[in-house]
Amino acid sequence: MRRQWFLMSGFVTAALIASCASSAHHAAPVSEEEMGRRWMEFMTPGSGHQVLNERAGNWKLEIKFWMPGSPEAMASSGTSSMRWILDGRYLEDRTQASNPMGLFEGRGIVGFDNLTKKYFSTWIDTSGTGLSTSTGDFDTATHTFHFTVKMPDPTSGQYITARTAEKRIDADRWVAEMFQPGPDGEYRCLELTYTRQ
């Protein structure tokens, strides 16, 4: 009985969300059939998600990071496990690494939004209490994701805008670089090299 109630509650909630979202921004009414077709299109993983499938698996992680104005990189290492969740709609990243402050853990979600046709990601980790969010595109010619990132910066006391370039080298290796504003303009602050385990 309780299970049936929860299922019914879930269906009612989904129907209410669909109804609100569908009626809020349409000047002309949309038929139930068309509304259903649009929701199915939005909720079904497609070719944009297939591009992300190359990231699924277990990875060895080599990390380099730079402080503003310093040419010398600090190095670290770790692992990353990436798994599909919610029936192949989102890729979850569980990362562990070492850093000068000790063990580092992070969690990320990356996906493709069928509505906006954009890739997006979220990131949280043990080095802070904030949320980084990214949106971007995939360049098929260079096999590179380009993201614009909103990330917390405790030094300035605000969120700043950075960017990443994440390039597939081959089936078993890819490199992600992050660039953020510095005293003398943009500088590379992070480089992650992923090698499939």
The domain spans of the chain are 2-43, 49-196
Amino acid at 90: Y
Cα atoms in the 13 Å half-sphere on the side-chain side of 131: 5
Q: Tokens 């993201």 belong to which residue?
A: 147
Query: Does residue 101 contact residue 125 with C-beta atoms inside 8 Å?
Result: no
- Where helices occur in the chain by DSSP H, the ranges are 2-24, 32-43, 47-52
pLDDT tens sequence across 28-72: 788 899 999 999 999 999 999 999 999 999 999 999 998 877 778
Closest to 128 (Cα-Cα) out of 109, 160, 104, 150: 104
pLDDT tens sequence across 118-150: 999 999 999 999 999 999 999 999 999 999 999
pLDDT of residue 184: 79
CATH class of segment(s) 49-196: mainly beta
Whole-number Å distance between alpha carbons of 103 and 54: 27
Percentage of the chain lying above the pLDDT 90 cut: 71
